[in-house]
Amino acid sequence: MTINSRAKGASAEREFSNEVYQWAGVKLIRNLEQSRSGGHDLIVHPDEVGAVSDNFRALAIECKRYGKVTPGLIATWWKQARQQAEPHRLHPVLAYRADRTEWRVVTPISLINPDLTQCLELDSTATMALPAFCAVVREGYHVKRNA
């Protein structure tokens, strides 16, 4: 049986959004412009207000759900996340989950500590569990839109 990749992607985005809501209390929705304009997958619901919501608005979140995740796939996905974030001057974020595993989130290391490198290469990122990512964004007073 063939799985529709668009439906699988939409399902992954909803799954990730639901977990973000549980951990951070912010409602993310699918970016319906992503197909047309090649943008990132998730945006903050327009009715969301507050500092945490504003922190999430500074992120371009790309979600991936695969049976097996390899370093090569992560490198390809990270490049895509960076390319989609750049025109909007947002911080790239890659969220991925392989079968029978928990969500992992890749962010620029500067999102955790702005005194660290601003480099966006994969070797200058941090990979963390979803609850840790939500804590970083929730408490991240320095998570602001790129200048």
Strand partners, 59: 91
Please write the tens of the pLDDT for every residue from 123-141. 889 999 999 999 999 887 5
Domain that holds residue 118: 5-139
Distance of CA 111 to the CA centre of its chain: 12
Instruction: Give residue-wise pLDDT tens across range 43-82.
Output: 899 999 999 999 999 999 999 999 999 999 999 999 999 9
How many domains are contained in the chain? 1
Does 144 map to a domain?
Answer: no
The pLDDT, as a whole number, for residue 141 is 52
Residue 145: inside a domain: no
pLDDT in the model for residue 5: 66
Residue 100 lies in a domain: yes
Q: What CATH number does the domain containing 44 carry? A: 3.40.1350.10
Q: Is residue 147 part of a domain?
A: no
Residues ≥6 apart with Cβ < 8 Å to 99: 66, 67, 68
Cα torsion 15, 83, 133, 24: sign: negative
Q: What is the pLDDT of residues 8-48, one digit of tens each?
A: 678 889 999 999 999 999 999 988 665 555 578 898 999 99
